[in-house]
């Protein structure tokens, strides 16, 4: 495997472990991520037990500074996605 796990690799793992067609495995992976994205767009949190929680946070407009020119600029208000790993995931990664 590469250093980054891709959607195609996830679909391949599902195909080999479950025994469904590659097309079905790919559709399952795509639908899984689509459901997460749609919930985040609606402003909901997504909790995956033993993995972690994705949530949307609102950042206010603020004044930032270009580090190269030191010129001030306004950074627009925006929504950002935050991920908090579960205790189980942290334990497994650190063991």
Cβ neighbour number for residue 53 with a 10 Å cutoff:
14
| Average confidence (pLDDT) over 66-82 | 94
Q: What are 80-91's pLDDT values in tens digits?
A: 999 999 999 999
32 closest CA partner among 1, 16, 62, 54: 54
Please give the structure tokens belonging to residue 20: 């469904």
Q: What are 6-28's pLDDT values in tens digits?
A: 999 999 999 999 989 999 999 99
All domains of the chain in start order, with CATH:
1-42 (4.10.520.10)
41 has pLDDT over 70: yes
Taking the C-alpha atoms of residue 32 and residue 10, their distance in angstroms, rounded to an integer, is 11
2 has pLDDT over 80: no
User: Taking all residues of the chain, what is their mean pLDDT, rounded to a whole number?
Assistant: 94
Beta partners for 81?
A: 56
1 has pLDDT over 70: no
Give the ranges where 1-95 is alpha helix by DSSP (H). Answer: 7-18, 22-41, 87-94
């Amino acid at each position: 495997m590469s250093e980054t796990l891709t959607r195609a690799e996830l679909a391949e793992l599902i195909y080999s472990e479950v025994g469904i067609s590659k097309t079905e495995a790919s559709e399952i992976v795509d639908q899984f991520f689509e459901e997460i994205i749609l919930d985040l767009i609606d402003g909901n949190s997504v909790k995956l037990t033993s993995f972690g929680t994705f949530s949307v946070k609102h950042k206010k407009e603020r004044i930032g500074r270009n580090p190269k020119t030191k010129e001030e600029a306004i950074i627009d208000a925006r929504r950002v996605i935050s991920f908090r790993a579960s205790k189980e995931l942290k334990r497994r990664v650190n063991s």
